[in-house]
Structure 1
Amino acid sequence: MTIYDRILTEDDFIHQDELRYPFEERGLQFGDGIYEVIRVYNGKFYLLKEHVERLYRSAAAVKINVPYTQEEMYDHLKRLLELNKVESDAKVYLQITRGSAPRNHAFPKDTAANLYAYVKDLPRPTDLIAGGVHTITHEDVRWDWCYIKSLNLLPNVMAKQAAEELNCYEAVLHKDGEVTECSSSNVYMVKNGKVYTHPAKKNILHGCVRMRVEAFCDSQNIDFVEESFKVEDLQYADELFLSSSTSEIMPILKVDHLQIGDGNPGAVTRLLQQRYEEEAGISPEASIFSNQKAQ
């Protein structure tokens, strides 16, 4: 029996003073907040500086006053790992909202921001990274300021669910046929040895791993072209891959019913995955290459 199968009694009602989570929390009521998801490998942060800097850019964009300096934030996050005795692969979720105040659309005056952070074990999805994934296409109906990593994620959630219902890993978003990114990752097309991806404008998230993909391409003399492409262009792609802090660099083998290239992870994607593992300090035992999982 669930709570919905019976009539509520007096004991089911809670006084607001007994709530551990403020019921008039602006993140809860308005999505009025920002967040970051930071990867941890072997108990050490990966791209911590990039994530914290983006957090503060997002905060400035929506006029939230972060209660700590960036240096203090680094110290608090590292302390979080220490207190949890993190030594394996994990993720840290960090959220800052405008605070708790009586519900009103306008900003409350003299209200301190709320900060929440937690750490959770997160093994690498090595089978998917090595073998590749299937995706769908989905209309991009998000707001125009996707460069802000805000809590307003309902369109992303709906797109991801549409993919989930078709047993796919991700949804490749497009607006008027132009590919922007995925529901929770950036996306790239490889054609004639060049890597193409949507320019870092306001309508996509400027991913931290995306920045590293660009750097990896530069180090390997691979042209990284910030130029958008169309859904119809995917049929001519040699390779397709996505990137995020939790997905790393992941090959896409199929979009809808369209096979990408020869249906296997491509050489450029593999090279970028190797550079990612090297920079992230992935141990040889945990590498998708030494495990011979890569095709």
Structure 2
Amino acid sequence: MTRTVFVNGSYVPEDQATVSIFDRGFLMGDAIYEVTTVIDGKLIEFPAHMARLARSLAEIEMPFQVDEDALLAMHRELIARNDLDQGMIYMQVSRGPADRDFVYPADPKPTLIAFTQSIPWLSMPFIETGFKVVSCPDKRWGRRDIKTVQILWTCMSKVDAQRKGADDVWFVEDGLVTEGSSCNAFIIKGNRIITRALSHDILHGVTRAVILEFAKEQGLEIEERGFSVAEAQQADEAFVTASPLFATGVVELDGVTIGNGKPGPLTMQLREAHIRESLKQGM
């Protein structure tokens, strides 16, 4: 079945979707993206994704007006046209086509595209088994808080991790973990959750914010600071958060088992609470 995708205001079959070869997203990586999870045909935390989109666009001075109502209608139309039950919608805004120049045009014509992917998030094997991760030097550009399409080092690192028999990477900078390839990183010690504070060093994760709120409501302590690989290996539990992952356990880091080698009880508790509330509030 051919998917219907969205390109600059039109819904078209995926094999008919095109953008200019001069598009700056293609030539320069000059683009922002967001991925919104879909569960039971509902968009999860859509407003938060649109708020982050607007922030990222402002940070790179791209004059694209985020019309949340129009974008919500577009997302819902893609869900309907593709009969999407579980999966995600990827949306990307580039600065649009222009002759190749390091100086971006003063009056750009942004390109907007979006498409669906069907993925059974709630029945994936990693929910029960957890992730095995390996550490990797963080060689990404310094503004990781901006969700740009410049993710080549991320791709290379994740491929290398899989070659080593792991599921993902945790990036390390100045001896401390920053985050995963496409997720925020956490450890649990006793009744305390430890995760890196928000800064330019990490993505301001939508799910990160929600999970920390759930943790506070459940009486857990929150400590926002960096932690080392060695500290993580000695933790009671570890987990990652991302929009499609909710909270997912990390059971091994650089070959060292964390906890009892299974997703921990607090991790699963936070995951289940998040999914339950997300389905109530889905759009």
TM-score normalized by the length of structure 1: 0.85
Indicate if the aligned counterparts of 2:29 and 2:148 stay in contact, CA closer than 8 A.
yes
**Counterparts of 2:76 and 2:66 in 1: how far apart (Å)?**
14
Matching residue of 1:89: 86
Aligned to 1:267: 265
| Aligned equivalent of 1:177 | 175
Q: 1:140, 1:118 → 2: CA distance?
A: 29
Query: What is the CA distance between 1:127 and its match in structure 2?
Result: 1.9
2:68 corresponds in structure 1 to 70
Separation (CA, whole Å) in 2 of partners of 1:265 and 1:67: 41
185 and 68 in structure 1: CA distance in 2 versus 1, 3 angstrom threshold: closer
For 1:128 and 1:150, locate their aligned partners in 2 and report how far apart those are by CA, in whole Å. Answer: 27
1:276 shift after superposition:
1.6
Residue 254 of structure 1 corresponds to which residue in structure 2? 252
**CA distance in 2: counterparts of 1:264 and 1:85, whole angstroms:** 34
Name the CA distance, whole Å, in 2 between partners of 1:236 and 1:131.
Answer: 19
Aligned mates of 2:99, 2:106 — CA distance in 1: 11
The match for 1:114 among 111, 115, 120 is: 111
Counterpart position of 1:228: 226
> How far apart in 1 are the matches of 2:242 and 2:167?
13
Higher-Rg member (1/2): 1
The residue number in structure 1 matching 2:12 is none
Letter in 1 for 2:142: D
Amino acid at match of 1:242: V
Counterpart residue type for residue 100 of structure 2? R
Name the CA shift for 1:68/1:211 in 2 (closer, same or farther; >3 Å): closer
Q: What number of residue pairs does the alignment pair up?
A: 264
Structure possessing the higher relative contact order (Cα contacts under 8 Å, 6 or more residues apart): 2
Structure 2 CA distance for partners of 1:68 and 1:134, relative to 1, 3 Å: closer
Q: Is the 8 A contact 1:197 1:226 kept in 2?
A: yes
Residue segments in structure 1 that go unaligned for 5+ positions in a row: 1-18, 283-295
Unmatched tracts of structure 2, length 5 or more? 1-16
For residues 258 and 37 of structure 1, the distance between their equivalents in structure 2, rounded to whole angstroms, comes to 32
**How far is 1:100 from its partner?**
0.3
Shift of 1:68: 4.5
Within a 5 Å distance, the mapping from 1:1-295 to structure 2 comes to: 20-86=18-84, 88-124=85-121, 125-281=123-279
1:235 is displaced (CA, Å) by 2.8
The residue number in structure 1 matching 2:9 is none
AA matched with 1:43: G
Do the aligned residues in 2 keep the contact of 1:67 with 1:113 (CA within 8 Å)?
Answer: no
Following superposition, the deviation at residue 66 of structure 1 comes to 1.5
User: Structure 2 CA distance, aligned partners of 1:77 and 1:65?
Assistant: 21
C-alpha contact (below 8 Å) 1:129/1:248 kept by paired residues: no
How far residue 51 of structure 1 moved from its aligned partner, in angstroms, is 0.6
The whole-number CA distance in structure 2 between the counterparts of 1:215 and 1:264 is 24
Q: Are the counterparts in 1 of residues 246 and 275 from structure 2 also a CA contact under 8 Å? A: no
1:266 CA drift (Å):
1.4
Which digits, 9 at most, give the CA deviation of each residue in 1:53-82, with x for residues without a partner? 101100000011224423322222223223
CA RMSD of aligned residues (A): 1.7
The alignment partner of 2:226 has SS state of coil
How far the C-alpha of 1:33 sits from its partner, in A, is 0.5
Q: What is the deviation of 1:50?
A: 0.7
